[in-house]
Amino acid sequence: MVIRREKTNTCGTICLKYLLFLFNVLFWLAGGAVLAVGVWTVAAKSDYISLLNSTFYSTSAYILIATGTIVVVTGLIGCCATLRESRVLLGVYFVLLFCIFLLEIIAGVMAYMNHQKLDHELRQNLRRTMQHKYQQPGEADITQAVDKLQMEFQCCGSNSSLDWSGSIWILVPGNDRMVPDSCCKTPIAYCGRRDHPSNIYKGGCIAKLEEFILSQLHILGAVGIGIAFIQLLGMMLTCCLYQNLKEEIY
């Protein structure tokens, strides 16, 4: 016996088909956006990641890249399943949607549980990193990251510019700088010799870096929740279309 699929062209099935196809297009675009955010985080903010001894932030970025890639592939499978009206592909698509949904919940719970830990580690490690690794042999990446951080966020030191008074680099004989040149409001060579408020930023970087990381996590959380609700709609549409497609044996 040969099993053939008879496509049911009822109004309900046609509507479901186009609704699911539209959902897949939106889902595919959302996956592309998540992938882009992950790549941007790794590429543009990798300097800041190097300042964190915790791997939580970098791991989150790579999870975004992996999730975005899976979502894009899943969206393509969904489009094929919808256009071909294949119950097998629709079943695979539903399982993938459900798995992604579970992963998003797990990632959200982990982010919430590790948030306070990340904040504590950041406060503990940033000052020590600045004082013990800045301008030290083999720490060029850290030095570049600290300079970029201070110039972009217009800050100086971890809690304040006074943190630099305990820096190994500042205490080297012959170094007449009081802070790195990147602390200056107008960074030029040797401008760090003066620590007057008119010349340098007095506020520390820790609060601004925390604010930046939290804003990124909030954005990611909002995007994740939005995609999760869209996925629930997609799973319902998939089930409805799956039930409307009938197989007949000849």
Quick: pLDDT tens for 223-232.
777 777 777 8
- Asked if the model's pLDDT at residue 219 lies above 60, the reply is yes
Average pLDDT over residues 142-165: 90
pLDDT value, residue 175: 85
Q: Measure the CA–CA gap between 109 and 103, rounded to whole angstroms.
A: 10
Residue 235 pLDDT more than 60? yes
Name the helix (H) or strand (E) containing 249.
strand 246-249
Q: How far apart are CA 122 and CA 222, in angstroms?
A: 23
Is the per-residue pLDDT at 5 higher than 50?
no
Residue type, 239: C
Residues 57-104: tens digit of each pLDDT: 667 777 777 877 888 888 888 888 777 877 888 888 888 888 888 877
Distances (CA, A) of 148 to 45, 157, 158: 10, 12, 14
Produce one character per residue of 78-92: b if its CB has 16 or more CB atoms within 10 Å, e if not: bbebbeebbbebbeb
pLDDT range class, residue 155, cuts 50, 70, 90: very high
pLDDT at residue 52 in the model: 66
Q: Give the whole-angstrom CA distance, residue 104 versus residue 224.
A: 7
pLDDT at 9 over 70: no
Q: 26-62 pLDDT, tens per residue?
A: 877 877 777 787 777 777 666 666 676 666 666 777 7
Amino acid identity for residue 121 in this structure? E
* Distance between CA atoms of residues 45 and 203, nearest Å: 21
Residues 65/36, Cβ–Cβ less than 8 Å: no
Whole-Å CA distances, 193 to 15, 176, 197, 230: 71, 6, 12, 56
Q: What pLDDT sits at residue 156? A: 92
Which comes out higher in pLDDT, residue 7 or 77? 77
What does the mean pLDDT of the chain come to? 78
Residue 141 confidence (pLDDT) above 70: yes
Higher pLDDT residue, 97 or 4?
97
For 163-173, the pLDDT digits (tens) are: 898 899 988 88
According to the model, what pLDDT value does residue 115 have?
Answer: 63
pLDDT at 208 over 80: yes
Residue whose C-alpha is closest to residue 57's, from 119, 8, 150:
119
Q: What is the pLDDT of residue 247?
A: 46
By percentage, how much of the chain surpasses pLDDT 90? 7
Task: Using DSSP, state whether 5 is helix, strand or coil.
Answer: strand
Least confident of 1-10, 83-92, 164-173, 202-211: 1-10
3-state secondary structure 45-100: CHHHHCCCCCCHHHHHHHHHHHHHHHHHHHHHHHHHHHHHCCHHHHHHHHHHHHHH
Identity of residue 103? L
Q: State the pLDDT confidence band at 1, using cuts at 50, 70 and 90.
A: very low
Does the pLDDT at position 126 exceed 80? yes
